[in-house]
Amino acid sequence: MIKIMIYHASAFRPTSRNSKRSPIGRALLIFATALIPALSSGAKESDSQSTHTSPPPEQEAAVRLQIFLDRAQFAPGKIDGRYGDFTLRALDLYREANALAAPSSGNALVDSKENKSVATPIVTDLDLSSVGPLYIDYTVSEADLVSVGKLPDAVEAQSKLKSMPYRSVGEAIAEKFHTDLKFLEQLNPGSIGSLKAGDPLKVPNVEPFDLAAVKDLILPKKNDDDPAADSTKKSDGKAADSNNPKEEDSQAARSVKVDTKTSMLSLYENDRLIAAYPVTIGANQNESPIGTWKITGVAKMPDFRHDEAVLKRGERSSDFHVLPPGPNNPVGVIWIQLNKKGIGLHGTSSPDTIGRSESHGCIRLANWDIIRLAAQVKAGVAVDIH
């Protein structure tokens, strides 16, 4: 171990006016004078690497709107500070639910990521001050690290795992706070790639998605006669008791509508819109089934039966692999089965692809949205796909 001691220049001062510094003293003084700026420069560089940053004002305005909508359960998709399609659709649905007339359009704004012009929405009718601070301080915990591990790309190798974990701490934190990794990196430059327990972060001020709490979520019973075709894990019993009037009233009060044109799922209570979430739907040979269906059961932390024949042609084969539960399971952390074989509402391992890709016939939501939906629906609730 090398120890460097820096002395004040007075340590080399002559003992009398006529005395002179020794050659060693002069050399040490020159060395120390040169070393101090270098050490100071190193400290500043370290500080700059850990400094949190804020997006420009126009982007922060979008973040504020997205957080407002997310808290109201009119989800805008991932928090990224952009007036994307899902943010604008969620805003329209929020206004519809609250009988608010939309103000006139705002100024044109070029979305650099999509390279297209979008309208900056006028939001004077919304109390965006209720959001409070846009960002909060968060400290990475040991619990965050528990859900992170190695995840091979090959399906066969994945089937041999005990769980399907996050690939990095950054991925886990991004999902926890309903954002994507790039935006999290923008808020915390230079720190996302090497996160460890105890590290401080700046994150969007949303209600965190708690992966550990999924197992404690109270879910409706599932009908054993109609198992989830793509899930090998069964939930705990039969459908809700049809002889219970209160249960029947609760089921009748809620309904779900999936708009395949806008890729938005809307939740209603007594025909009143109460929540909305962006979704991915099926297309081409795997189109989501148009019609009115019913929820028959819900499973948390499901397995997934990966069968290429099912994914490509909708037919089961003997060549398949069962993938274990976890946040990176292809159907995410929740499976909501419909009374249509092999079709359900479920989470995803790739929240960035919501609305930007095609499913294999099912309705796919981000994990943080499917968990909120699952807490509000029961077996018997109608799901209209149109």
Q: What is the pLDDT of residues 195-253, one digit of tens each?
A: 999 999 999 999 999 999 998 887 655 444 333 434 434 333 233 333 344 545 555 68
Q: Are residues 284 and 141 in the same domain?
A: no
User: Looking at the domain assignment, is residue 31 inside a domain?
Assistant: no
> Structural domain tally of the chain?
3
Exposure string over 26-57, b if 16+ CB within 10 A, otherwise e: eebbeebeeeeeeeeeeeeeeeeeeeeeebee
Instruction: State pLDDT tens for residues 35-58.
Output: 333 333 333 333 334 457 778 888
Which candidate, 117, 166, 116, 161, places its Cα nearest to that of 145?
Answer: 166
82: containing domain:
57-130
196 plus 254 within the same structural domain: no
Domain boundary among 130, 148, 170: 130
* Cα gap 110→115, rounded to integer Å: 7
Which of 208, 227, 243 is the last residue before a domain boundary? 208
For tokens 């120890």, the residue is: 3
How far is Cα 22 from Cα 26, in angstroms, rounded to an integer? Answer: 6
Q: How many Å apart are CA 235 and CA 227, to the nearest integer?
A: 9
d(CA 181, CA 169) in angstroms, rounded, equals 10
The residues, ordered by sequence, that sit 6+ positions from 282 with a Cβ below 8 Å of its Cβ are 288, 358, 359, 360, 361, 362
Q: What is the DSSP letter of 104?
A: P
On whether residue 8 sits in a domain, the answer given is: no
* pLDDT confidence band for 271 (50 / 70 / 90): very high
Q: Which helix (H) or strand (E) holds 264?
A: strand 264-269
Residues 350 and 367 in one domain: yes
Segment holding 250, helix H or strand E = helix 245-253
Find residue 282's DSSP bridge partners.
359
381 plus 312 within the same structural domain:
yes
Taking residues 279-308, report their average pLDDT: 86
Least confident range of 8-22, 203-217, 277-291: 8-22
Place of tokens 């909508």: 69
Question: Which of 139-143, 231-235, 254-258 has the least mean pLDDT?
Answer: 231-235
Cα separation, 82 vs 72, whole angstroms: 18
3-state secondary structure 316-354: CCCCCEEECCCCCCCCCCEEEEECCCCCEEECCCCHHHC
DSSP bridge pairs for 278: 264
- In this predicted structure, which of 79-88, 105-114, 118-127, 189-198 has the lowest mean pLDDT? 105-114
